[in-house]
Structure 1
Amino acid sequence: MTSQSLERGLRILTELAENGPVLGIADLARAVGLNRSTTHRYVATLAGLGFLQQDPDTRKYSLGPRVVDLGFAAISSMEITGVAAAHLQTLSDETGCAASMAVLDGTDIVYVERRRSRRQTGVAVDLNLHVGSRLPAYCTSMGKVLLAHRDPAALRTLLDRVELTRRGPRTITVRDQLVTALAQVRQAGLAVNDEELAPGLRSLAAPIRDRSGQVVAAINLAVHLTTWATSVESIVSRFSPPLIRTAAEISHQLGFRSSM
């Protein structure tokens, strides 16, 4: 037996998470299929508990600090982050590049772990990424890995919700080209991002599998043209072996056993 009130409250939070970041009562009422007065009661309760906050000027609502607290608590409690942290630090120290892990949430990736090299002196492009950061999946290397391993029907549904906006000089903005690229990623077991997210930023990503063999996360290395101004082929040759090795080590610790 389910709680209708709890379900409605969670639907409001989900709507803001997926289609916000700021929505009014009328927008929320339409999205969750309730009248305005009922929606307002739920929103007022959620705001009182700190799960929503209201802009005093626009009177619209956004997610509140309690949601952030829950999100970070969930990330911290995930088995995968505990397993991956030391491996990512070792990978970052070995390569001198920032190493990250992300999971797929709708059409976005969410960073659940990020490590910097202890010998790194700084880079020109950082994007202020941290645990909890979200980026569009279609123009990131980890996103392409995670999209590539969705079943075809689920992938079509996700892509129907995405506007392929240009983010960098080489962003893929044509759906058929993206689908072709994702098929190549699935076959190769490696995704390469060549200035698709931002100018001067390249990255490589590999999948993380759980004990059932499902791809549950991806890890990447961020490579900046200010420090590695060389061809994509050279970057793949240099960084893909330690990246793939680390992905295999994390997957193995999660219980995945390759049949090969």
Structure 2
Amino acid sequence: MTSIDDIEEPNGPSRSGIARALAVIDTVARAPHAQGVSVIARETGLPKAVAHRILRELVAGNFLAFDEDTKVYRMGPGALTIGLAAMRELDIPTIAHRHLVALSEETGQTATLSLRQGWSRVYVDQVLSRQEIRMSVALGTSHPLHAGSSSKAVLAALPDSEVQDYIEHHRLDSVTDATITSAATLREEISVIRAAGYAVSVGERQAEAASVAAALHGPIGQVVGSVSVCGTRGMFRESTSHELGERVARAAARISADLGAVRDTTGERKDVTP
């Protein structure tokens, strides 16, 4: 039987058998739907015959599954075993910390990491600003998903059904005078956050604080938490919120990529129905 390492590419620089196999696996894993050999060959840049041989070996090893009727490939049970093992080893605070350091240095503000816990989120890490006057958060504290940018970023990233469930079954209690307590206003805010890619809070959780945050996604697209920068209200002007938001959104995307998140290629955004 021909092995992956025996397969040669007739054109272009040669890649190792392992590199070719990984390219095929990555293409199948990132595709929104099962794919045929022609699409996989095009996406990987491999000749169709080479891609087909690699696919056959991966199916034989139970790493991919092949549908005889539709002639398409999807991830198999072997891949699930490895994926679950990787998820068990996923240490989000450790993976995210260097990005928090970079974000704090880049913005001059305190950078925080929150993880989702059911219908709330918890601060688990922070990198303090080097400024003499700076914000800090209490690690380990739990906060509802409608108050503050770190919370709203998580809520806005959830599917519509979960957002609706939160609004219908949780009291939108006031934390400060600026906390959103109206279901209609919260739905509008979620639409704004989804369009921008980040959430903004001015005094919603702490009266004199302001922050911007973006959601973090895990290996199967699940919302795992959020990353933010925070400071005093005086440090956050409306003119700088957009710039800070874009920086935070980029940091969140980098952390999500390190967590193995698959980028959404549909370009579609969800809307919250009343």
TM over 0.5: yes
Q: Over alpha carbons, which structure has the higher Rg? A: 2
1:187-198 to structure 2, matched below 5 A, reads: 187-198=195-206
**In structure 2, what is the equivalent of residue 135 of structure 1?**
143
Is residue 108 from structure 1 mapped to residue 120 from structure 2 by the alignment? Answer: yes
Q: Which amino acid aligns with 2:258?
A: Q
Q: Unpaired runs of 5+ in structure 2?
A: 1-88, 268-274
Q: For residues 236 and 195 of structure 2, what CA distance do their matches in structure 1 show?
A: 27
1:128-207 to structure 2, matched below 5 A, reads: 129-207=137-215
Out of 247, 254, 257, which is 1:252 matched to?
257
SS at match of 1:122: coil
Out of 112, 116, 131, which is 1:120 matched to?
131
Q: Which amino acid aligns with 2:153?
A: V
1:150 to 1:244, Cα distance in 2 relative to 1, 3 A? closer
Asked if the contact 1:103/1:109 (under 8 Å) is kept, the reply is yes
> Alpha-carbon deviation of 1:210?
2.0
> Alpha-carbon deviation of 1:134?
1.2
Q: For residues 207 and 166 of structure 1, what CA distance do their matches in structure 2 show?
A: 23
Q: For residues 120 and 154 of structure 2, what CA distance do their matches in structure 1 show?
A: 10
State the number of aligned residues: 177
CA RMSD of aligned residues (A): 2.1
Percent of aligned positions that are identical: 28
Out of 95, 107, 118, which is 1:95 matched to?
107
Q: For residues 134 and 199 of structure 1, what CA distance do their matches in structure 2 show?
A: 18
Structure 1, 78-87 or 147-156: larger mean CA deviation:
147-156
SS at match of 1:139: coil
Q: Which amino acid aligns with 1:103?
A: L
Q: Which amino acid aligns with 1:95?
A: T
Q: For residues 95 and 117 of structure 2, what CA distance do their matches in structure 1 show?
A: 20
Asked if the contact 1:106/1:158 (under 8 Å) is kept, the reply is no
**In structure 2, what is the equivalent of residue 25 of structure 1?**
none
> Alpha-carbon deviation of 1:257?
4.2
Q: For residues 146 and 229 of structure 1, what CA distance do their matches in structure 2 show?
A: 21
Q: Which amino acid aligns with 2:255?
A: I
Q: Which amino acid aligns with 2:246?
A: P
> Alpha-carbon deviation of 1:148?
1.3
Asked if the contact 1:201/1:225 (under 8 Å) is kept, the reply is yes
Q: For residues 249 and 173 of structure 1, what CA distance do their matches in structure 2 show?
A: 32
Q: Which amino acid aligns with 2:104?
A: S
Out of 94, 113, 116, which is 1:82 matched to?
94
Q: For residues 217 and 150 of structure 2, what CA distance do their matches in structure 1 show?
A: 13
In the superposition, the TM-score normalised over structure 2's length comes to 0.59
Give a deviation string over 1:85-121, Cα, whole Å, max 9, x none.
111012112222111111222332111221113x221
Asked if the contact 1:219/1:247 (under 8 Å) is kept, the reply is yes
In the superposition, the TM-score normalised over structure 1's length comes to 0.61
Q: For residues 182 and 165 of structure 1, what CA distance do their matches in structure 2 show?
A: 17
**In structure 2, what is the equivalent of residue 224 of structure 1?**
232
Moved over 4 A (4+): none
Q: Unpaired runs of 5+ in structure 1?
A: 1-76
